Amino acid sequence: MKKILNFIYIHHYAALAAFCVILGMCAGLFWNYNSINYNLAAVVANVIIILTCFGTGMFFKIRNTLSEKKIITLIFIIGLSLRLVYILTLPSTSHQHDVEIFGNGSGHAGYIEYFLYNRSLPDFDPISVWQFYHPPLHHIICAVWMRLQMFIGVSYDSAIEGIQFLPFFYSGVCCIVCIKIFKSAGLKNLPFYLACLFVCVNPTFRFFSGSINNDCLCAMFMFLAVYHTINWYDNKRIRTILPVAICLGLGMITKLSAGLVAIGIAFVFLYALIKERAKARLIGQYAVFGAVCVPIGLSWTVRNLVMFNTPINYVPDLGSDNYQYIGNYSVLRRLFDFSPYQFSSPFIAWGEHSGDSYYEFNPTVGYLKTACFEEYFSDIKILPFIMLMAFCLCVVAALSGLVLFIIDLKKSHRRLPFAIVAVCTSVYFISYYAFCLKYPQVCTMNARYVPMAVLMIPMFFAYLIADFQNENSKLLKPVRLISVVSVCICCVMSVIIYSVVLI
């Protein structure tokens, strides 16, 4: 067990990739996605894996051999197991966004099939088909993966289900990169472990892992771009700025909104330029960055603009006649109405569709609910309600940590990782609120549009908790204690709910 954990910790990307490819191929050949018995076996196996990880940790603790790498590896395996059971037990048609059905020629499913059969970019205006306006990288990768599966004998239907192993891999990379960013920020001991646990069992990554659309690949490149920007700041070289440019460019060719990370990156570049004496050297690096990033990231957008005069910022509008339209609410009410009835259910309100008397209209409430349970609802509400309240306290703790960071800005040891994450997350939240107000539909109020928050929340509640033993902040100790308890409850509820209750 010790050697296995060490291998996973050291060769994390290779181990994850090999695991996903081998398991994806085997699942396509032997797994019955429609069998209740298979689903039950997956749930039981998930519970056994989680209990085994807990028992292994206790064993190492008793023997005084429980190191940081073992703790992090066990936490990562628990998160991986939660996401794996999700994609094995739910069909690819469940819990999706704008995917539609394979075979009908539209949505993300139709987009993937287009590349599967045509092996070329669309020769028509992409906005003429639902969801074809998206940059094509994710859909091309999905088509290639389907062909590889079918090449070894996987049926077409099973190959469709197997697409989920791609976002499963992407979500695993997201967790690894988040952990590396926490490490680069100087987090350690309890705050570090809690932040890692929060990320690995986070429901957003759980839903991302089975999402056939381009959300998860986009998030992966965003996190990688942030991580490599931090690395570049510590070692300003051409070879360290190139990964930033490549990741940002690939993110934008996956989903254009990845470009919002560029604002945080620009903030770091500007700060470095102000601090650096050899400014000409940095300007040269920035030129290389732009020469690599811009052609990759804007290639799809410029192509469609030139060939079809497609608007650069095109987003399909569902219109005011859609059942989920909430444009009748005033802007002030949507932003500042936090009436208690909005928290009578932990799930987002879909009117009569979810048994509620109203449609969710407050973007903040919508974010909090979808960050825990996406757009879905269940008859079981007690445990989800406990999780939602704990998550709200985690958000409050993160905001408190952000305020504390700003106050301590000059004396903070590792300022840059926290600063770039705060800037990027702020930009995404500004974009999120603008998006919700411009397109007043229930479906626009979703945590998937603010993926950076999955990184920011644990990072800043960890910053708050990290000062727990500081003798100069005794008044804040109760706040930090509540934060620790809230994070633990939120994580435990997530493991319980997504292991057994809401599968």
Structure confidence at residue 30 as a pLDDT band (50, 70, 90)? confident
Instruction: Note the pLDDT tens digit of each residue in 125-141.
Output: 999 999 999 999 999 99
- Look at the block and give the residue holding tokens 């300003």: 236
pLDDT at 475: 64
Residue 211: count of CB within 10 angstroms of its CB: 28
Check residue 2 and give its pLDDT: 60
Q: What is the pLDDT of residue 3?
A: 63
Q: Where are the domains of the chain?
A: 107-162, 224-314, 322-503
183: confidence class by pLDDT, cuts 50, 70, 90:
very high
CB 246 within 8 A of CB 296: yes
Residues 415-442 pLDDT 10s: 889 999 999 999 999 999 999 999 999 9
d(CA 9, CA 27): 25
Rounded to whole angstroms, the Cα distance separating 203 from 182 reads 19
For residues 82 and 495, the answer to whether their CB atoms sit within 8 Å is: yes
**Per-residue confidence (pLDDT) for residue 503, from 0 to 100:** 46
Share of the chain above pLDDT 70, in %: 94
- The pLDDT-based confidence of 467 (bands split at 50, 70, 90) is low
Instruction: Please report the pLDDT score of residue 473 as a whole number.
Output: 57
- Higher pLDDT among residues 113 and 380, named by residue: 113
pTM: 0.93
Closest listed residue to residue 258, CA positions, set 230, 289, 303, 225? 225
Picking from 417, 411, 127, 387, the residue whose alpha carbon sits closest to that of residue 267 is 417
Could you tell me the end-to-end alpha-carbon distance of the chain, in angstroms, rounded to an integer?
29
CB of 449 closer than 8 Å to CB of 183: no
Q: What is the distance between the alpha carbons of residues 261 and 73, in angstroms, rounded to a whole number?
A: 28
Measuring CA to CA, which residue among 14, 8, 26, 166 is closest to residue 87? 166
The predicted structure's pLDDT at residue 43: 85
- Mean pLDDT of all residues in 199-222: 93
Q: Is the pLDDT of residue 7 over 70?
A: no
Q: Is the pLDDT of residue 396 over 50?
A: yes
The whole-number pLDDT of residue 57 equals: 87
Q: What is the CA radius of gyration of the chain?
A: 23
CA-to-CA dists, residue 64 to 37, 61, 68, angstroms: 40, 5, 12
With 90 as the cut, is the pLDDT of residue 409 above it? no
319 band by pLDDT with thresholds 50, 70 and 90 = confident
Q: Specify the pLDDT at position 412.
A: 60
Q: How confident is the model at residue 455 (pLDDT cuts 50, 70, 90)?
A: very high
Nearest to residue 378, comparing CAs of 500, 479, 275?
Answer: 500
344 CB contacts (<8 Å, ≥6 apart)? none
Query: Is residue 395 pLDDT above 70, yes or no?
Result: yes
Of the candidates 386, 388, 358, 356, the residue with the CA atom closest to the CA atom of residue 372: 388
d(CA 299, CA 253): 7
The structure tokens 């825990």 sit at 372
Q: Say yes or no to pLDDT of 408 above 70.
A: yes
pLDDT: is 3 or 290 the higher one? 290
- Is the pLDDT higher at 91 or at 337? 337
State the alpha helices, DSSP H only, in 201-319: 203-208, 215-234, 238-252, 261-275, 279-308
pLDDT at position 4, please?
Answer: 65
Over range 204-219, report the average pLDDT: 93
Which among 69, 88, 117, 96 is positioned nearest to 23, based on CA atoms? 88
Task: For residue 289, give the 3-state DSSP assignment.
Answer: helix
